[in-house]
Amino acid sequence: MARHHITTTVNGDIREVLVETTQSLLDVLRNELLLTGTKEGCGTGDCGACSVMLDGRLVCSCLVLGVEADGKEIDTIEGMAQGEELHPLQRNFLEHAALQCGICTPGFLIAARALLEKNPSPTETEVRFWLAGNLCRCTGYDKIVRAVMATAKELRETTHA
């Protein structure tokens, strides 16, 4: 099996890794770089559990080959909190009980942050459509949507203060 030497920036750190052609970026993150915060759900791009940012764009890491990450910047859930300080989205997910089993949570957080960076004042409908590619079988989505809306409000107030 051919192996490729790739250099990629993950959460700001330059990482070098050998990857097999058929390894997905998700496999590389979890099994080679031991960043297991990104989860595998379906492996076919339907559930969003493996969401990461690839050069600033939200993607499913199961639908990216590891070798494609050469020279790219990747942001995963491990880079979301600043040390001990949670990202406002993480804090609001806890406060609104927007998770139960937690498998979908890293993907929801990454996807929700991407939304708020693009659109700081989303409507509830916009939140629901943006997150339609993230599946959760525990919460019924309502608490997740409320946590995202609350974070958007909080971030707007902090910026204007």
Q: Minimal distance in Å, beta carbon 26 to another protein? A: 10
Chosen residue from 22, 119, 121, 123 binding another protein by CB under 8 A: 22
Q: Is the C-alpha dihedral spanning 42, 100, 127, 159 positive or negative?
A: negative
Chosen residue from 5, 18, 21, 140 binding another protein by CB under 8 A: 21
Residue 29 lies near another protein (rule: CB under 8 A): no
Tokens 């590619």 sit on residue: 133
> How far is the first Cα of the chain from the last one, in angstroms, to the nearest whole number?
56
Alpha carbons 141 and 98: distance in angstroms, whole number: 8
Which CB, 24 or 90, lies closer to another protein? Answer: 24
The HSE-up count of residue 36 (CA atoms within 13 Å, CB side) is: 3
Residues at the site binding another protein, with contacts judged by CB under 8 A? 1-2, 4, 21-22, 24, 43-46, 48, 51, 54, 57-60, 62-65, 67-68, 111, 114-115, 129-134
